[in-house]
Amino acid sequence: MKLRTKIDKILSNVLVVIMGIMVINVLWQVFSRYCLGEPSSFTDELARYLMIWVGVLGAAYVSGKNNHVAIDVLPSRLSESKQKKLKVIVRILIILFSITALVIGGSRLVYITYVLKQFSPALQMPLALVYLVIPISGILIIYYKISDLLNS
C-alpha cells in the first residue's frame, strides 16, 4: 500500500499542476482576446489538450480511490459474500477493458500518430504526446484494480 499511496500523491499533484496550467492558460486567452484585442493562437488548443489529460488521468485517479460512478441497485440486494464476488468480477472486467481499450488501443493510437508524424496545428507538438495519456491511464487503472484484488 506504500507504493499505492505514493502513486496517488504523484497523480494528484500532476492533476493539480495540469489544472493550474489550464486555469492560467484560459485566463490568458480571455485577457488577450478582450483586453489586448488580439486572441492568442495557441491557448484554445492547449486548453483542449490539457482537458483531455485531466479527464483521462482523473479517471485513473478516481478509479484508484474507488470513487467512480457506480450503479448500486444490484449489489445492495445481494448478500455480503455475493457482493464480494461481484466486486471481484467487476474489477476483472475493468482490468480486461483497460488492457484492450486503453493500453493496447491507446498504444496503437500513439504509435500510428507518431509514425504518421501528426502534429497539432497551433502548438506544432506531436499528437502522440497528447494521446500518450491513454495507455498511461490504462496502466494506472490496471495497477489499482490488481491492488484492490490482492487486498480484498
Q: Residue 125: is it exposed, middle or buried by C-beta count within 10 angstroms (0-12/13-18/19+)? A: middle
Maximal CA-CA distance, the chain: 64
| Contact of 98 with 105, CB cutoff 8 Å | no
User: Sorting pLDDT into bands at 50, 70 and 90, what band is 70?
Assistant: confident
pTM over 0.85: yes
> Can you tell me the distance from the alpha carbon of 117 to that of 126, in angstroms, rounded to the nearest whole number?
7
User: Sorting pLDDT into bands at 50, 70 and 90, what band is 102?
Assistant: very high
Total number of residues shown for the chain: 152
pLDDT for residue 5 is more than 90: yes
pLDDT value at position 136? 98
> Can you tell me the distance from the alpha carbon of 50 to that of 124, in angstroms, rounded to the nearest whole number?
15
User: Sorting pLDDT into bands at 50, 70 and 90, what band is 135?
Assistant: very high
